[in-house]
Each structure stands twice: as structure tokens, then as C-alpha cells.
């Protein structure tokens, strides 16, 4: 099967078919506002095992379960604190994953063997439509890590998914093309198993936004809960990523638009603000590999908004694969 045959436009018929394919145990790559995810029925052990195989992902690395609405989390989670409900009401659908003590529905094969489960309501019309169609068929949720090989740069377009994973997909699997992801970095992951929220992975939902809604200070970030994207080296292109130096001839370069490009340097992205920086970052890192560059220099953005998440991803990327 050629890689092009996997990609599906997002008509009503194709969404219904994609939901049926999920129910039948196939994989469906789906767009979300953060990055594209590689989805499977979160209650189907064999289907979820195919996610791990396609990604080359360690079996103890948990998956995030995507649900269609906040009410669905009660099936997956035990002990949902009031502050988590406040966060869900404010920021779902949105780029936020909440970690809870798991219910019997969340099995070891989706939680990485942990007693917790990560849940999210994505803010993308295609993802929400697919989740709603899947629910009509009795589906409880879609387990969906980023749709790339483990440790590589997360995909923010259907083309990037195809480039990463086509050779690992089989007839019956689908890639839904919902256009480029609007946020561009993965969700904020918040541990909701304690008396106060704890940020385990930064994202577009910032510490300030969390404290504003909950009225609580954040717990310190030391935790033994394993979450996606928490390894020291991750989000890495084949090119070497170097932070905050002056690029030299032949380097790729990513920096805010007010930073000039030195002579003979390949400008990969010139975002005008931090939100655009997040949105363009992964596509720019991918383009470095497409151009066979050996080094990418990134001038990191300052600030305590989504820039915190950008700096987190870039630090991990700079450590290589």
C-alpha cells in the first residue's frame, strides 16, 4: 500500500469510517491543536500495542487518553479533586492533560503500568468529531501519543505523519488531514493526584493560568509519575540542535523575526511572537532534516508564557536522539 493511500480528507463519511476503523482495532492518526496523534481504541490492548510498535516507544511510557467531553473522565479516573474540575471547565477542550488515579477501565497497557492515567479533551474540530463518532459506536476514548517515531520531532501536519510512520502502518489504518496544528507544542501535563496541582510537562496552559483558576499554589515538580516527553533527550531532528549561539555558514537558524540572519545561514523560521514560535518550531526542525543540514541554531524566546514549553522542548532536542 502506498503511503499516499493512508491520508483521508475530513468529510463526515470519512470521520464515521475512521471511527469504525478504530473500533475494529486499526490505527488512526488524527490532528489536534497541539500536534498530530497516533490513535487507537484505548481499551484495546492489541491496538495499543501497535502504537508502541509503530513508534518504537518503550512499553513503560504511558499514553494520554483523549475523550470527547469532560463528563467522560469519570469513567477513566478515580478521586477527581475540585481544582481539576475547575481546570477542566476553564481549559477543555484545550492543550491540557490532567493526571488522575486510574479506574479499572485504564489498564496497564495504556498507563505504562502506573496507577495513574492522563486524560485530555482536545480542541480540534476533527479530533472532537472523531471522538464523538467513536463514542456513538461505544468507544470510551482514544489513546494517542504524538504520531512520530519515539524521540523524534512531533508532527504538526498530515504530511509529517506520513513521512514518519507510513512504513509502519497497514491497510486499514488512516491519517486524517486536518491542516497544520494551531498550538504546535504538546499539552501541559498537570498531576491532579495530590492536594495541589503539579506541572509535569509545560505547555500552552501556564503555571500562572493554573493558579489563577484553582486559587492554589503549585506543588513542587518532583514526581515519580512517568509522562510523555519527560525523558532528557526528546523532540530531536537528525540535525544537531544548538542553543543561543551565533550561527555559522551552512547552519539552519530559528529565531524571532527581529533577529537578522547572518550571511550564508539557512533561515528556517522567523516567528513574530512566542505563540507563532511554538506553532512553527517542529516544522522548522523537520525542514532542517529535509535540507540535510547538520546543525540548527535556535535563539530561544524569553518569557513565562508558551516560551517555557518551547525552551523545555529545545533543551531536550539539543541533547540529541
What's the pLDDT tens digit per position in 215-245?
999 998 778 898 887 777 778 899 999 999 9
CB 39 within 8 A of CB 143: yes
Does residue 179 share a domain with residue 311?
A: no
Does residue 207 share a domain with residue 265?
A: no
Q: Give residue 138's pLDDT.
A: 98
Residue 151 sits in a domain whose CATH number is 3.90.870.10
List Cα–Cα distances, 269 to 191, 257, 319, in angstroms.
Answer: 33, 8, 21
How many other CB atoms are there within 10 angstroms of residue 245's CB atom?
11
Pull the grid cell for residue 195. Answer: 492536594
What percentage of the chain carries pLDDT values higher than 70? 98
8 domain residue, yes or no: yes
User: How large is the average pLDDT for residues 277-289?
Assistant: 97
List Cα–Cα distances, 67 to 140, 218, 293, in angstroms.
Answer: 7, 25, 39
Query: Which domain covers residue 310, as residue numbers?
Result: 240-318
135 domain residue, yes or no: yes
What percentage of the chain carries pLDDT values higher than 90? 89
Query: How many domains does one find in the chain?
Result: 2
Whole-number Å distance between alpha carbons of 47 and 309: 30
- Positive or negative, the CA dihedral 302, 280, 184, 200 is negative
b/e for 273-300, b at 16 or more Cβ within 10 A? Answer: ebbbbbbbbbbbbbbbbeeebebbbbbb
152 domain residue, yes or no: yes
Q: What is the CA radius of gyration of the chain?
A: 19
Does residue 97 share a domain with residue 166?
A: yes
Q: Give residue 9's pLDDT.
A: 72
Whole-number Å distance between alpha carbons of 93 and 265: 40
Does residue 3 surpass a pLDDT of 50? no
Does residue 131 share a domain with residue 186?
A: yes
Amino acid at each position: 500500500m502506498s503511503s499516499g493511500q493512508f491520508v483521508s480528507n475530513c468529510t463526515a463519511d470519512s470521520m464515521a469510517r475512521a471511527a469504525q476503523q478504530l473500533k475494529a482495532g486499526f490505527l488512526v492518526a488524527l490532528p489536534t491543536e497541539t500536534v498530530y496523534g497516533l490513535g487507537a481504541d484505548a481499551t484495546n490492548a492489541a491496538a495499543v500495542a501497535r502504537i508502541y510498535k509503530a513508534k518504537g516507544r518503550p512499553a513503560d511510557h504511558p499514553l494520554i487518553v483523549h475523550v470527547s467531553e469532560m463528563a467522560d473522565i469519570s469513567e477513566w479516573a478515580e478521586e477527581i479533586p475540585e481544582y481539576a474540575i475547575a481546570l477542566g471547565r476553564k481549559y477543555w477542550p484545550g492543550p491540557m492533560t490532567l493526571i488522575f488515579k486510574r479506574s479499572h477501565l485504564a489498564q496497564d497497557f495504556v498507563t505504562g503500568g502506573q496507577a495513574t492515567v492522563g486524560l485530555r479533551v482536545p480542541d480540534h474540530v476533527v479530533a472532537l468529531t472523531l471522538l464523538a463518532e467513536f463514542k456513538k459506536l461505544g468507544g470510551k476514548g482514544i489513546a494517542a501519543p504524538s504520531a512520530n517515531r519515539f524521540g523524534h520531532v512531533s508532527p504538526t501536519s498530515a504530511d509529517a505523519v506520513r513521512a514518519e510512520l507510513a512504513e509502519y502502518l497497514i491497510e486499514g489504518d488512516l491519517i486524517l488531514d486536518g491542516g497544520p496544528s494551531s498550538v504546535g507544542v504538546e499539552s501541559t501535563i498537570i498531576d491532579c493526584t495530590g492536594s495541589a496541582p503539579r506541572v509535569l510537562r509545560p505547555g500552552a496552559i501556564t503555571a500562572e493560568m493554573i493558579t489563577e483558576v484553582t486559587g492554589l499554589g503549585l506543588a513542587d515538580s518532583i514526581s515519580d509519575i512517568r509522562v510523555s516527553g519527560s525523558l532528557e533527550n526528546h523532540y530531536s531532528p537528525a540535525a544537531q540542535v544548538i542553543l543561543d549561539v551565533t550561527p555559522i555558514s551552512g547552519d539552519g537558524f530559528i529565531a524571532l523575526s527581529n533577529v537578522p540572519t547572518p550571511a550564508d545561514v539557512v533561515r528556517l523560521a522567523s516567528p513574530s511572537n512566542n505563540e507563532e514560535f511554538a506553532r512553527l518550531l517542529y516544522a522548522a526542525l523537520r525542514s532542517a532534516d529535509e535540507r540535510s543540514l547538520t546543525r540548527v541554531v535556535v535563539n530561544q524566546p524569553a518569557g513565562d508564557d508558551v516560551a517555557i514549553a518551547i525552551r523545555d522542548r529545545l533543551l531536550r532536542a539539543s541533547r540529541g536522539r
